[in-house]
Amino acid sequence: MLKLEPPYKDDSGQRLPVLLDILPDGTRIYEPQRGLDFFERNNNGLASLAAAPVDADDTPPDDEPKEEETAPGPMTPEELYKMRVEVLPQLFTALGEMTHAKELLSMLLASAQQSAVPLPAPAAALSATTVTKPAPIVSVQAFNAQLTLGGKDEALRKAAGVFKTAAESIERARVRGERYWVDALKIRRANWGLIPAPLPFGAPTGKGADKTSKDFLISYGLEESPAIFRRRAVGRMPTYEAPNEPLVFPYRTRTRLLISVSSVSSDSDGNNPKTVLSQNTTSLPDDNASLDAALRVAQQEVVEQEIFSLLVKEAGSLPTASARVSERLIVIDAAQGVELKFELIDADALSTGTSNSNNAKCDFIYYALQALLLRLHGYTKRQRLGAIGVFRPPNASDAVSPPLLLRPVIDLLQYQVFLGRLRTEMDAMGKALCAVDIASALRFEAVGGTGQGLVELLDANDERDNNKDSRDTNINKERQAQGLGGEAVLRIDTRHTVRLTFRAPSSLTAHLSQATLAISSIPQLRQLLGDEVERCLLQRICDVGRELCEQVGGIWFIDLSRCVGRWEGCVLNFRIFVKDATIHCAAFRLGKTGLQQGDALTYSTDLNVPLLSWAEGTIRAALAQP
């Protein structure tokens, strides 16, 4: 930055004379000195008055001792007052003279302007002379012009910067306003709810005041959700600020629902148990997502929070499972070796997981909970409209309890464990039949019916089809009361079948040729399958005996749990028993002399002989004996 004050001293501290002009011959004309500075009269910067003359009489004699000369010191107040008394009268005198001269010159100039023709002044009269300050040199003029132009350029640049900033601000406001309404139309076109925004704080609300809302809010909550969740499901579009996200959610907690199932699995032989952990696949939020995607993610978070609150309420009243509940965690022992966990975690701590067969179970639970929540909302809406008389279902007199969310999920997990144990028992029996070379076939349908029937199970309390007659309604109720189920059919030797039907969570029914039995435990099922296999194999041995003993007139029949063959001089008994998924057979021969050594035979799979072939050989051996 240039200093406007010219230097008046050089590097050595000497005063620089002011150059007035340079003559053609090179002579320099300086401004005459107007006296020394008061503070530069001596090197010490001390002011002193003129030294007083020393009289000769005052000279001390030679014989008197001379006083040591002392350096001049600062003036005392007495000396300063004395100097003031001496100087002030002179200054007042000079002031009076200067004032008199000024008034005289003013009078003369006024008289000269009044006279049209100037009269020659007498020689003895006073005259005035006008002195004009000479123009500065070229270098000084250039310097002054540079200073003037620099100041004007800086001022113009500052003004231009102010106008540019204002123009950019106006342009940003225009673009932001256009984007605001374009985004609002996109949100409305996507069928999201727009509600009037409340009046700003401090707005007049009295009579006659303008209470029209100047803005709107975006409501993305479900219609029949509780008020606490609908108040959270509110967003707005950014106006003045420019956040990273396209929308602003003031009450968003950014938590997601994580569902995990921990189960103990083993190999086909029931050995080497290991824990398998699966969890649902949740998409991570994207800050650069579109408006519709951002609203969908925010809505999903609110729905998951509502689901979690309902799960907390139902976890304490489960009839067939125990639960541990905390603020953001629910752990349920759903079935034997199966642990179900619901957890609300922060979206930032959510890890990206790959979808696999283990996670499919948790994904199914995740989406099933959403379907069950919609069913609950439908029930709430019907109750609300029925209370005010807008809508009344045909069977409104029936007291229908609100549908549950957690109970169907627990039933499905228990049903899955139950099917696993049931399938294990039936597979073991099929392997036992194959080991004795008996043809068997197993048809196992875990979930029977069509997809439409499964959807109707979730829609148990939905009565939207009001035009159906009461007969169809009763049929649907019976079908829905049965619940989710399937059937299993074990065919033995292409002749005999064992049909089992089951319902969620652990209802099992055996449909036999002679009766229909309800099975309440796995040991009871194991005993039933063993008895059916024994009866079938004994019947098959009985048929083989009839064919072989037809010439001797033998009689074959089944007596309780054994097959008896009789002909002249011989009684042959066969017994079948199943133990640890292994089929054993024993044969006893009674001759005329009774039971003798070698007449008792036992069959096992270690013989590596088909059971029917061994029975046929035993019968032929008995026929050959006298």
Q: Domain range spanning residue 317? A: 216-371
User: How many angstroms separate the CA atoms of 466 and 479, rounded?
Assistant: 18
Q: Are residues 264 and 297 in the same domain?
A: yes
Query: In sequence order, what DSSP letters do the residues of 256-315 get, joined into one string?
Result: EEEEEEEEEE--TTS-S-EEEEEE---PPP-TT--HHHHHHHHHHHHHHHHHHHHHHHHH
The predicted-structure confidence for 424-440, as pLDDT tens digits, reads as follows 999 999 999 999 989 99
Q: Is residue 414 part of a domain?
A: yes
Q: Tell me the pairing of strands 28-30 and 19-22.
A: antiparallel
Q: What is the mean pLDDT of residues 296-308?
A: 92
Give the pLDDT score at 242: 57
pLDDT tier, 38 (very low <50, low <70, confident <90, very high otherwise): very low
- Helices (DSSP H) in 331-405: which residue ranges? 357-387
Q: Are residues 560 and 601 in the same domain?
A: yes
Domain final residue, candidates 483, 500, 531: 531
Q: For residue 480, is pLDDT > 90?
A: no
Indicate the number of domains in the chain.
3
Give the pLDDT score at 112: 67
CB atoms closer than 10 angstroms to residue 290: 13
Give the pLDDT score at 173: 86
Q: Is residue 577 part of a domain?
A: yes
Give the pLDDT score at 488: 92
Q: Are residues 514 and 556 in the same domain?
A: no
Domain final residue, candidates 481, 505, 531: 531
Give the pLDDT score at 329: 93
Q: Is residue 2 part of a domain?
A: no
The predicted-structure confidence for 551-609, as pLDDT tens digits, reads as follows 888 899 888 888 999 988 888 899 988 888 889 899 988 877 666 555 678 888 888 88
Q: Are residues 226 and 256 in the same domain?
A: yes
Q: Is residue 31 part of a domain?
A: no
Q: What is the mean pLDDT of residues 314-329?
A: 89
Q: Are residues 525 and 555 in the same domain?
A: no
Q: For residue 168, is pLDDT > 90?
A: yes
Q: Where are the beta strands (DSSP E) in 77-144?
A: none
Tokens linked to 518? 């309800």
Q: For residue 240, is pLDDT > 90?
A: no
**Cα 78 from chain centroid?**
88
- List the single range of 34-43, 335-344, 407-416 with lowest mean pLDDT: 34-43
Q: Is residue 188 part of a domain?
A: no
Q: Are residues 488 and 566 in the same domain?
A: no
Please indicate whether residue 41 or residue 277 has the higher confidence score (pLDDT).
Answer: 277
Give the pLDDT score at 606: 85
Judged on CB neighbours under 10 Å (0-12, 13-18, 19+), 294 is buried
**Mean pLDDT of all residues belonging to the chain:** 79
Please indicate whether residue 287 or residue 197 has the higher confidence score (pLDDT).
Answer: 197
Q: Is residue 317 part of a domain?
A: yes
User: How many angstroms separate the CA atoms of 141 and 523, rounded?
Assistant: 119
SS3 317: coil
Looking up residue 494, the CATH number of its domain turns out to be 3.90.1150
Q: For residue 304, is pLDDT > 90?
A: yes
Q: Are residues 254 and 282 in the same domain?
A: yes
Please indicate whether residue 241 or residue 98 has the higher confidence score (pLDDT).
Answer: 98
For residue 591, give the DSSP letter: B
Q: Is residue 601 part of a domain?
A: yes
Judged on CB neighbours under 10 Å (0-12, 13-18, 19+), 500 is buried
The residue written with tokens 């061994």 in the block is 614
Tokens linked to 255? 């938590």
Give the pLDDT score at 491: 92
pLDDT tier, 96 (very low <50, low <70, confident <90, very high otherwise): confident
User: How many angstroms separate the CA atoms of 253 and 536, rounded?
Assistant: 65
Domain final residue, candidates 531, 556, 586: 531
pLDDT tier, 156 (very low <50, low <70, confident <90, very high otherwise): very high
Q: Are residues 313 and 279 in the same domain?
A: yes
Q: Are residues 323 and 469 in the same domain?
A: no
Tokens linked to 234? 């509110």
Q: For residue 450, is pLDDT > 70?
A: no
Q: Are residues 247 and 348 in the same domain?
A: yes
Q: Is residue 107 part of a domain?
A: no
Q: Are residues 526 and 556 in the same domain?
A: no
Q: Are residues 272 and 318 in the same domain?
A: yes
> 332 near 322, Cβ under 8 Å?
yes
Give the pLDDT score at 113: 67
Q: Where are the beta strands (DSSP E) in 24-129?
A: 28-30
